[in-house]
Structure 1
């Protein structure tokens, strides 16, 4: 797994554990509903980072007889679990607490304590967000922000970035709600802020679940990598290149299959030599390629699974 992604997770975990403790203490002192939901939010974020770290460890396991394709997609599974937790615990508890505070409003006490904790939390969340932002921005490669968010295969960094971004916005909501409660004397503003935080978390959770689902099903590699495979495969002895299929098992583990038409005059030894050359070139240019499957066929334009052919694999792991 990417060491930078692991570093981002460790930074986020350390920040969120401290922030959660501070928010819960402040909620107990002030009685603020928004502060309590912010504490729950940070606690859920901490649990999420632990799950993602566990997913990274599991995804790094080598292939075995039961899982010949490796364990890479474990990371995407735990990313989906994280999205469910953000929705069920983060958003659910926040909305519930906000509604209860609207029905039974209680004025907050010692608001200065709450403001101090929110300021510290905002600074810590900001540091963690900057680390995730740098990792995400480095992999963006000129794509728009939306294209990068929906197209990235590094679920870990995206989760940390969006969770921390939502946390910073949530802190602003909590501060505004607390401030309006003080100015108007109406504590229901604090409950309304809690509901807004919950809706924000729900939106983030739905987006993360959608992206994790796509990765679990299997998403293709970057078009540049597919073009690189086509370029590397094209050589003397190959008369045509058909469909190229790529699937991400994890951010740095890609399986590729290529449909090619070899020159009929080639011997079996020549075919083996060409496949070996293709494997070495692809592995050198794209270290994330886990396995490469080359399928000889007279009509390289045929799609995989159509007709009969001999499947020859070159293991690029």
Structure 2
């Protein structure tokens, strides 16, 4: 049985995003200090939060790919979701908290110092760099969605690779945040009222809250033990039901153990005439078929179970007694 490997495509996406965010954070901070813009300072903290997030996502990919051992027989895949959840939490607390607080303060105080030119230059450069990072994430999302024969939108909703999902959402939010910051700075300059700058900062904070909440919810679901998507589950059921010695599937359970690890466990009713050797051969064939068709499937357990006894109805969560094809 193969061991999990670090997803080099996801690592590359995270590294590119982290490098871009670090450079952008420094530029925004300088512009924010020079201009005194609340929206620019909020965007600087936004980029710092994104940079920290990329570091945590890198840890998630590395630590989650460690091989199984005696204390963790199913590997460390779920640890990647812990680090990804911490990344979402950091964005929620640090990024959104600062942006909203600073924005409200600006609305109440209406203070501004410095010129606006630095803000416009940094916003333009930041938009270009964030676009490069987002373009890489989009390419990976499209490639992965084609591999799974689904749409990019559905892939983002169901994927267990929370690293690429986080980069995509954060870079998208970053571009929207830059547009909001530019609008706030421009309106403040045109009207002479810093109210718009403060409102832009608050909106950036709300945007970060939404992104952090979506990512945190996704990671919590995977930490608890989420099943594979329904279409993949149906394909697994068809593969098992298609084995010659199988009469029906009583219960089929699946769980994401990590971004690249899936566990499959099934209670299967075999032919009454099937010998022990036949059942062993069928179980081995099921594992070989499933892992060949779906490399993410790492563990396959079949439990021979009779389903024709009185009162022995299919259990909740099973396929309802899927008959063999």
Q: Same fold (TM over 0.5)?
A: yes
- 2:323 alignment counterpart: none
2:257 paired residue number? 249
Partner in structure 1 of residue 211 of structure 2: 204
Q: What's the secondary structure of 1:140's corresponding residue?
A: helix
Structure 2 residue aligned with 1:160? 167
How many residues were matched structurally?
306
Superposition deviation, residue 188 in structure 1: 2.2
Q: State the Cα distance separating 1:291 from its structure 2 match.
A: 0.3
- Which residue in the other structure is 2:304 paired with? 296
Which residue of 237, 242, 257 corresponds with 2:245?
A: 237
Instruction: Check if 1:111 corresponds to 2:116.
Output: yes
Question: Matches of 1:231 and 1:260 in 2, distance apart?
Answer: 13
Deviations 1:226-272 (A, max 9, x none): 23322322222222222211111112100001111112222222221
1:37 equivalent in alignment to 2:50: no
2:26 aligned partner:
21
Structure 1 residue runs of 5 or longer lacking an equivalent are: 307-317
**8 A Cα contact 2:267 2:304, kept in partner:** yes
Separation in structure 2 between the aligned mates of residue 303 and residue 296 of structure 1, nearest angstrom: 15
Pairwise CA distance, 1:14: 0.7
**CA 232–305 in structure 1, closer or farther in 2 if over 3 Å, else same:** closer
Q: 1:77: Cα distance to partner? A: 1.4
List aligned pairs for 1:74-113, cutoff 5 A. 74-113=79-118
> Unaligned regions of 5+ residues in structure 2, if any?
1-5, 319-325
2:11 maps to: 6
Distance 2:304 2:274 in 1: 12
Residue 107 of structure 1 and its aligned partner are, at CA, apart by 2.3
> In structure 2, what is the equivalent of residue 127 of structure 1?
132
The answer as to 2:230 corresponding to 1:218 is no
Task: Give me the TM-score of the superposition, normalised by structure 2.
Answer: 0.89
Tell me the equivalent position of 1:263. Answer: 271
Cα distance, 1:135 vs structure 2: 1.3
1:193-231 alpha-carbon deviations (Å, 9 max, x no partner): 111110111111111111111111121113333233223
Q: The residue matched to 1:303 in structure 2 has which SS? A: coil
Q: For 1:229 and 1:143, how far apart are their aligned partners in 2? A: 17
| 2:243–2:286 Cα contact (<8 Å) kept | no
Please tell me whether the aligned partners of residues 35 and 119 of structure 2 are also in contact (alpha carbons under 8 angstroms): yes
* Alpha-carbon distance in 2 for matches of 1:267, 1:196: 67
Residue pairs, 1:183-198, within 5 angstroms: 183-198=190-205
In the alignment, is the contact (CA less than 8 A) between 2:252 and 2:317 conserved in 1? no
Which residue in the other structure is 2:76 paired with?
Answer: 71
Q: Are the counterparts in 1 of residues 264 and 301 from structure 2 also a CA contact under 8 Å?
A: yes
Per the TM alignment, residue 305 of structure 1 is displaced from its structure 2 partner at its CA by 11
Local SS of the residue matching 1:240:
strand
| Structure 1 SS opposite 2:129 | helix
Q: What is the Cα deviation at residue 124 of structure 1?
A: 0.3
Other-structure match for 2:3: none
CA offset digits 1:4-34 (Å, max 9, x no partner) = 1111101101100100011111111111111
Q: Deviations over 1:80-99 (max 9, x none)?
A: 11111111011000011111
* 2:10–2:164 Cα contact (<8 Å) kept: yes
Aligned-residue offset at 1:143: 4.6
1:284 aligns to 2:302 (yes or no) = no
